[in-house]
Amino acid sequence: MSKKYMIKTWGCQMNEHDSEKIAGVARSLGYQATNEEKEADLLVFNTCCVREHAEVKVYGNLGRLRPLKEKNPDMIIAVCGCMTQQREVAEHIARRYPFVDIVFGTNKIHKLAEMIANARIAGNTVLDIEEDDGGKIVEGIPVEREDGIRAWVAVMHGCDNFCSYCIVPFVRGREKSRRKADILNEVEELGKKGYKEVTLLGQNVNSYGKDLPGEVDFAALLREVDRVEGIERIRFVTSHPKDLSEELIYAIRDCEKVCEHVHLPVQAGSNRVLDRMNRKYTRERYLDLVDRIKNVIPGVSITTDIIVGFPGETEEDFEQTLDLVKAVRFDSAFTFLYSQRKGTPAERMKDQIPYEIKHPRFLKLLELTQQITAENNLLLKDSVEEVLVEGISKNDPERLTGRTRTNKLVHFKGAPELTGKLVKVKITDPQKWSLYGEMVDREVEN
């Protein structure tokens, strides 16, 4: 019988993409995927430390694995990702959960086969979190993607921004850009395999290429990816407002395949809070940037991230955030309650906001953003949208589901064989979270 692997992932798209690489390595070693922990010969937890809730869930899940290991001593249990890149956390896991065989960092996926071999002969946890070769990007790691329509492609790793609330630069390292040729080769291979959409990933894609003298910047990279045959749509996340250039705005407008959707985290609407967050832009700069994006890119969708209850946030600061949301009218917003992350400057700030103050603010912001999302969706009634069909709806087997170029979810009736096709859908029933419609043209492309 073949060996089986299972990967459980917490966190952002970069973590999800890392899990695809872990799956690729596992496949290359002869493992087959399973959704049952008890069947796994290799069980990997890919962790996140950006939010406290994700860390708590990881520890809760680890605590119940001992019986599985006792029942199957040959099972390899590995923990990786952003949590384990913090040495004190990695060492704590090795001490507290001695049945964990491997603990490795965010830059060690290429060594997984070696670590599995070492774990089989080691008498203790194999721990590997130190960067090799100055943290250079390792190319050629196999990738196992479940979705044959859409794919993530990392264009860079790490972050140099050091926002005062964020742990990412400490666990994923400084910014490192992939070579343009490596990115284009990967996208070209995806096009040949029938993938229709790629999302270019980076903690701050707008700073792509700054560490590669003589290469291209992100706007130029978009224009090159736009020429790859087979690919029909291009998306990217995430953009930092301080680095979003005029050239990038025009590249989004000019490139046929680049979708009219910009995820532009604002985090707060108060200059005082933005300064304490070390975001390096003002609300005025952000609002001006939004105006330029909307003026240059017809029909663009702008989404964002917002943190509520950052240390020192006053009621006036919060009201300025609400005012900014009303001015921009985001198509959607990911809203978060601030939580202290060990090792960040914000953790040491003395004026932490009590939960009983920041939680009502969070609910007020959530209500506003959801209201605006619903109102924006209502404007799409009777419009005809291009939709990339992703498959049968999870909640309604009688409908297909897909996304517009502006990343809005659409449900409509159609044949399952349309999966992976671009179709035209007339929006008949816009709702808060998604759109319902009727297909008006079988296909835009074959």
Residue 21 structure tokens: 């690489």
Of the two residues 441 and 387, the one the predictor is more confident about is 387
- Which among 81, 160, 80 is positioned nearest to 126, based on CA atoms? 80
* Long-range contacts formed by 193-196: CB under 8 A, 24+ apart: 193/148, 194/148, 194/230, 194/420, 195/148, 195/149, 195/150, 195/151, 195/230, 195/231, 196/149, 196/150, 196/230, 196/231, 196/232, 196/233, 196/388, 196/420, 196/422
CATH for the stretch 150-378? 3.80.30.20
* Number of Cα atoms under 13 Å in the Cβ half of residue 408: 31
- Indicate the domain borders of the chain: 4-135, 150-378, 384-441
Q: How high is the pLDDT of residue 337?
A: 95
Residue type, 205: V
CATH class label, 4-135:
alpha beta
Peptide bond into 304 cis (omega under 30): no
Whether residue 443 is predicted with pLDDT greater than 80 in this model: the reply is no
Q: How high is the pLDDT of residue 442?
A: 58
- Which among 42, 54, 35, 46 is positioned nearest to 9, based on CA atoms? 46
Residue 404 structure tokens: 């517009």
Query: At 195, is the secondary structure helix, strand, or coil?
Result: coil
Rg for the chain, CA atoms, rounded: 23
- Which among 264, 379, 280 is positioned nearest to 324, based on CA atoms? 264
Q: How high is the pLDDT of residue 132?
A: 60
Q: How high is the pLDDT of residue 137?
A: 86
Whether residue 446 is predicted with pLDDT greater than 50 in this model: the reply is no
Rounded distance between C-alpha atoms, residue 357 and residue 308, angstroms = 10
β pairing state of 435-441 and 422-430: antiparallel
Residue 215 structure tokens: 């290469």
Whether residue 133 is predicted with pLDDT greater than 70 in this model: the reply is no
CATH for the stretch 384-441? 2.40.50.140
Cα end-to-end span (Å), the chain:
40
Average model confidence (pLDDT) for the chain?
A: 94
Number of neighbours of residue 211 by Cβ within 10 angstroms: 14
Percent of the chain with pLDDT over 90: 84
pLDDT band with cut points at 50, 70 and 90 for residue 322: very high
Mean of pLDDT values over 399-424: 97
